[in-house]
Amino acid sequence: MKKIYFTVGPTQLYPTFQKHITLALSEDICSISHRGQTFKDLYKNTDEALRKLLSIPQTHHIFFTSSSIESMERILQNTVEKYSFHIISGEFGKKFYEFSTLLQKQPKEITIPHDKNFLFSTIKIPKNTEIICVTHNDTSTGIALPMQDVITIKQQVPNALMAVDLVSSAPYGDIDYSQIDIGFFSVQKGFGLPAGLGILIVNDKAIEKSQFLEKKGIITGTYKRFSSLLVNEKNWQTFETPNILEIYLLEKITKDFLKKGIEIIKKETEEKANIIYDFFESSRYQPYVTNKHFRSQTTLVIDVKGETKKILTAFSKKGFILGSGYGKHKEAHIRIANFPAHSLTQVKQLLNEFNEL
Ligand SMILES: *Cc1c(COP(=O)(O)O)cnc(C)c1O
């Protein structure tokens, strides 16, 4: 039986994946040198395609990491001497905060509730904040933060940087890069690729901060400190041997998305999310995030009243692989991914199966 993965990452591969990987093998991509012209062209073309798809301006550089968890560590090492501020909306934002403590910084945080009205305007950001860290879409809770609200509160500390975790919202999320200094995502979520590549988007202001810290004698890392990433990027290179195959696949998928059009991808994402939320609103299960203003369009979390195991087992028998809840909600929630790899037809089939349950 052909399975369909509605898990939130890794997830269903994008439908053109097989074609691209077959081509990669015929082009010996797994054997080429990362110091040769083929790789330089690959980095440059991937950079161009991503810029076009996500409207990333020339003020921002595109670097590769191995994962977004890694990117969190790199960001804190390179931009914070002491004070980071974290807007936490789930377990991923919490990890970002905890990393800051582990790196011996002095982070502060505010946690957004999933079940109450919450006004961003009530957030007070300490004046000494060096960077504000935000999760655009927290995959553990299904809370998505409206970026306009976030950008408005950042005005309290105009000199601070802002880093946004876009892991499970890209390419869907509308991000105005002129308003943020750093964005990052991984490819095993919205891009429908295997895990093993992180994309880290950093502007000149953040790189200058990292150079300032270096001059002060603060350790910002080794091969992946921002100044090293920058020197290598200028030559379309990476310090380490990167995941060349995955970069190749990312370029191909990004071009597929461009061909389809980002506006169509967004429209389809919202259409699918709406029918899923509507369905569960009138079922005995309920969306976990009660405040509609904060509901994710890409990773939908449903409170299934402790029936997670029963549902996952029943659906797996029919070839639908769903995600369990995250962490302490493992047995209480299910999570449904709504990425470009998931078609409207598949979503409708999934909801039909719920009717049969
Ligand atoms: C998956 C995820 C991460 C971690 O990404 P990795 O590629 O596993 O490092 C971070 N933040 C969010 C919101 C995620 O969904």
135 lines ligand 1 (CB under 6 A): yes
The answer to whether the Cα torsion of 331, 116, 294, 155 is positive or negative is: negative
> Is the shortest distance between the CB of 246 and ligand 1 below 6 Å?
no
Give the pLDDT confidence score for residue 357 in this predicted structure: 82
Please state at what angle helix 344-356 crosses helix 262-281, rounded to 10 degrees: 10
Tokens of 352: 């039909």
Give the mutation target among 7, 133, 165 for probing the ligand 1 site: most ligand atoms within 8 A of CB: 165
pLDDT for position 114: 83
Is the model's pTM score more than 0.75? yes
From ligand 1's centre to the CA of 64, what distance in Å?
15
Atom of ligand 1 nearest to the CA of 169: 13
In angstroms, what is the span from residue 165 Cα to ligand 1's centroid? 8
Distance of CA 271 to the CA centre of its chain: 21
Each residue's pLDDT tens digit, 222-265: 999 999 999 999 999 999 999 999 999 999 999 999 999 999 99
Q: What is the SS3 assignment for 155? A: coil
Alpha carbon nearest to ligand 1 atom 2, residue = 167
Quick check: CB of 67 below 6 Å from ligand 1?
A: yes
Tens of pLDDT, residue by residue over 167-208, are 999 999 989 999 999 999 999 999 999 999 999 999 999 999
Instruction: Output the six-digit token pair for 4.
Output: 């369909």
